[in-house]
């Protein structure tokens, strides 16, 4: 049971890492539609990882209550933690690319709005 949860989590984390790597490449190549296409998938994976984390914690607690030495899972859990750290670093890289672009667009909209007296569109009926 615990091994299955760890395997599922590892697979999802790897898939999420791959998705973020694709996002970074798509941003570099200005293929922004790819980002949008993967967004829903990433949210689903993140939710599944969170659910599996809760299941893993519950399963480990249950094993400890049974008197099982859960250190037998230490290497697999450590590997999973390493994968999660890599995911965190990839996500930081993506944010480092996306946030400046977001700010640039915000600044452009602010400039256009200011130039039009506080309105983006000057509608005349």
Q: What is the pLDDT at residue 10?
A: 96
Residue 120 clears pLDDT 80, i.e. is over it: no
Across the range 21-39, mean pLDDT stands at 84
Length of the chain: 125
Lowest mean pLDDT among 45-59, 72-86, 93-107: 93-107
Q: Average pLDDT in the 29-51 region?
A: 87
For residue 29, what pLDDT is reported? Answer: 85
Q: State mean pLDDT over 92-116.
A: 77
Give the domain ranges of the chain.
2-94
Residue 125 pLDDT exceeds 90: no
State the pLDDT at residue 121: 53
Reported confidence tier of residue 13, pLDDT bands at 50, 70, 90: very high
Cα atoms found within 13 Å of the Cα of residue 25, Cβ hemisphere only: 8
User: 20: buried, middle or exposed (CB in 10 Å: 19+, 13-18, 0-12)?
Assistant: buried
Residue 74: pLDDT band with limits 50, 70, 90: very high
Tell me the average pLDDT of the chain: 87
**What pTM was computed for the model?**
0.75
Nearest to 52 by CA among 74, 63, 78, 44: 44
């Amino acid at each position: 049971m615990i091994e299955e949860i760890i395997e599922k989590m590892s697979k999802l984390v790897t898939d999420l890492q791959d998705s973020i790597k694709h996002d970074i490449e798509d941003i570099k190549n200005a293929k922004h539609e790819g980002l949008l296409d993967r967004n829903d998938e990433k949210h689903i994976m993140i939710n599944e990882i969170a659910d599996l984390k809760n299941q893993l914690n519950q399963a480990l607690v249950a094993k400890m209550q049974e008197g099982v030495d859960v250190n037998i899972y230490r290497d697999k859990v450590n590997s999973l933690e390493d994968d999660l750290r890599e995911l965190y670093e990839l996500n930081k890289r993506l944010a480092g690319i996306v946030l400046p672009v977001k700010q640039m667009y915000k600044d452009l909209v602010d400039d256009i709005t200011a130039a039009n007296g506080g309105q983006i569109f000057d509608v005349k009926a």
